[in-house]
Amino acid sequence: PEGGLTHHRRRAGQMLTLFGQASIPLLAQGDRRGAAFCRDQAACLLAHMFLCTIPSDRSAWGARGGRLNRQNFVEMLTDGRRGQDVAKLQCLLVYFRALGLPRGQPSPEAVRFFRVSIADVWDDRRWRSCGVPLRAVKAVHEGIIDDYHDALQVDFANACIGGGVLSGGCVQEEIRFTQCPDLIVSLLICQAMGDNEAIIFKGGRRYCETRGYLFDLQFNGRHTGPEISPPLLTAIDALDYRGHWGDPLTHQLEPAVMLRELNKACAGFCVRLPDVAEFLGSNASHPREVATGHWGCGAFLGNKELKALLQWMAASACDLDLVYTTFGDEAFAHELGHVVDTLRSKGVTVGQLWEAVCWPDMASTARNLGGIFRHVKAGFAQARAQPPGGDQGPRSRPPPQNPSGSAAPGLGP
């Protein structure tokens, strides 16, 4: 039957027909390029992963020292007692059934992956001089990131793309990959991300629905929503603060730590760059907003207020508005909206907000005032922001001639 082992073998057996003598591309650390597969090619690779026929020794693919994620379903198939893994396997079978039996001609629809690697990462001085005005923010407590179909949607990723989707993982990234199995192909071709890298996806169609979270994840049937073009996704991995000794907020407010997160977000939000837009296609080149939320603030213990401000700065530098979903936290959405209104009414720039979060002894000041938001509001409430000066950001400069890029993190070629 469709979706059974015979079906999987037929899918896997199409390798030579679909790929010929071409090798499967590798998007290694430091690359700035993409890879595309038609829908049937993606299904062929997934069939091999499901049948566990991907070679276990793939050290030749670990060029430049990069790690690859799991390459097959061995762990999931041999430890199928975990409820979340049962749900994932049910979703995968729905995916194969939806595609039907292999056709004679490959499907024209493509699944695309683009690895962004920023050569010229901005330092503290350059962020302080950034005169780009802060963009609009819509802070909402109802709904989820997936609801904002026309926005660039943020995947709260693991450095090894896909995280634990082929094992016991079941948080935001793993759930998205489970619902959109085409995205699992990225585990075969994308090495672990560096601090200056992101991975952008286009074409990951949703085939099924799930309910629950973490170990309560359950299969919830085939996706029956309208047939619309899959959204544009960007995968960015946050720092993990669980192993840090000492005061966690003080550590997160260190300039070097904040710079890493700010530049990482910029790498993920740079979809308007000419090379990225060209690869993804004309329909994907002009999202007007990025939909995100509490990135790295669950198991990784990130500070929600700080991460919201850093993502706001990154989106503004990349010429995008922000949709910030708080996953039911109405008070946080209200407080963020108040911060946004205060700062935008004063004409505050990205550089000025960066200076505010770099305030000396910010951790104790924020605690005394009741949080980072209150510190930032207090700093701008009584005075008008100075007219923007210095570096007006990437939008005001012509593209550099150097292909490595030097316009801005995430905003230069």
Task: Label residue 120 left, alpha or beta by phi (over 0 means left) and psi (-120 to 50 means alpha).
Answer: beta
On the question of pLDDT at 4 being above 90, the answer is no
Average pLDDT of the segment spanning 246-252: 85
pLDDT at 356: 94
The residue annotated as part of the active site, out of 173, 289, 305, 391, is 173
Q: What is the pLDDT of residues 346-395, one digit of tens each?
A: 999 999 999 999 988 888 888 888 899 999 998 897 765 454 444 443 33
- pLDDT band of 241, cuts 50, 70, 90: very high
Average pLDDT of the segment spanning 271-282: 81
Q: Which of 134-148, 213-227, 319-333 is predicted with the least confidence, judged by mean pLDDT?
A: 213-227
Q: What is the pLDDT of residues 119-157, one digit of tens each?
A: 889 999 999 999 999 999 999 999 999 999 999 999 999
pLDDT at 99: 83
The residue annotated as part of the active site, out of 31, 85, 174, 335, is 174
Average pLDDT of the segment spanning 313-342: 96
Long-range contacts of 259-262 (CB under 8 A, 24+ apart): 259/121, 259/122, 259/123, 259/124, 259/127, 260/195, 261/296, 261/307, 261/310, 262/127, 262/310, 262/313, 262/314, 262/354, 262/409
On the question of pLDDT at 165 being above 70, the answer is yes
Average pLDDT of the segment spanning 327-340: 96
Average pLDDT of the segment spanning 392-401: 32
Average pLDDT, rounded, for the chain = 85
Q: Which of 1-10, 128-137, 165-174, 332-341 is predicted with the least confidence, judged by mean pLDDT?
A: 1-10
How many residues does the structure list for the chain? 413
Question: What's the pTM value of the predicted model, to 2 decimals?
Answer: 0.88
On the question of pLDDT at 409 being above 60, the answer is no
Which of 17-21, 30-34, 218-222, 387-391 tops mean pLDDT?
Answer: 30-34
- pLDDT band of 408, cuts 50, 70, 90: low
Q: Which two tokens stand for residue 52?
A: 């566990």
- pLDDT band of 299, cuts 50, 70, 90: confident
* Tokens 């082929």 found at: 166
Query: What is the distance between the alpha carbons of residues 97 and 93, in angstroms, rounded to a whole number?
Result: 6
Q: Catalytic site residue 155? A: yes
pLDDT at 335: 97
Q: Catalytic site residue 173? A: yes
Q: Which two tokens stand for residue 204?
A: 């990951």
pLDDT at 398: 27
